[in-house]
Amino acid sequence: MTLTEHPDREALTLGVAQAITEALGMALKVRERAVLCLPGGSTPVPVFKALAAARLEWERVIVIPSDERWVPADHPRSNARLIRRNLIEEGAGAELIELYTEGLDPQAGAALASERIAPLLPLSVLLLGMGEDMHTASLIPGAEGLEAALDSAAPPVLPVQTAAEARVTLTVPALCSATEAFLMITGPEKREALERAAALPVEEAPVRAILKGLMVHYAE
């Protein structure tokens, strides 16, 4: 893990967007298609908008969410909707592969999503966020299904269930397949949580499972 500190959140946004742009550019030099995996949440939205202005061959880029709440693609809490509105519709003409499938439960939906995602692996570029509870994607401490998603032999996508809602998530093997992996965090509480994670069991600090080779970008 390497840590890059930025003087403020605007600099963080620009730094992360630049790093992703450069990584995608390198991937497109060696592969016909590049696969970009993006998180949900409000923190990366400015990065999505900055990326949309990047001069890339977006028609050769496939974008997938790192995880998804089991809600329709037009639901306000959908990660696919967030990515579509703030990246694709802002001018990045990439193909978006969704994890949610209408009419299926999370178990069946995750199996179908695995079939969609498996041919796209390894990921070219991965961007993740992290909560103060040390979760990343939907690898959430205490969630039903977490142990299976942490397994090194897990399929690309599995369902997880929290007390609040059903989700599906890319599993540790899929996330760790990324050629370039970035973590974007803000605030001293998250930085302290990231530092604690290295000494905790992975079930308590799931972000620990993807720390090797991770490039962390931080601003207060």
84 vs 104: CA distance, rounded Å: 22
Domain CATH for 141: 3.40.50.1360
What pLDDT is stored for residue 46 in this prediction?
Answer: 97
DSSP annotation of 56: S
How many domains, the chain?
1
pLDDT tier at 182, thresholds 50, 70, 90:
very high
19, HSE (Cβ side, Cα atoms, 13 Å): 21
Of 143, 40, 41, 146, residue with least CA distance to 99: 40
Q: What is the pLDDT of residues 139-171, one digit of tens each?
A: 999 999 999 999 999 999 999 999 999 999 999
The stretch 92-121 carries a mean pLDDT of 97
Helix axis angle for 45-52 and 9-30, nearest 10°, is 50
Distances (CA, A) of 22 to 25, 40, 50, 96, 202: 5, 21, 13, 20, 31
Domain that holds residue 171: 2-219
**pTM exceeding the 0.85 threshold for the entire prediction:** yes
Contact 169/138 with Cβ under 8 angstroms? yes
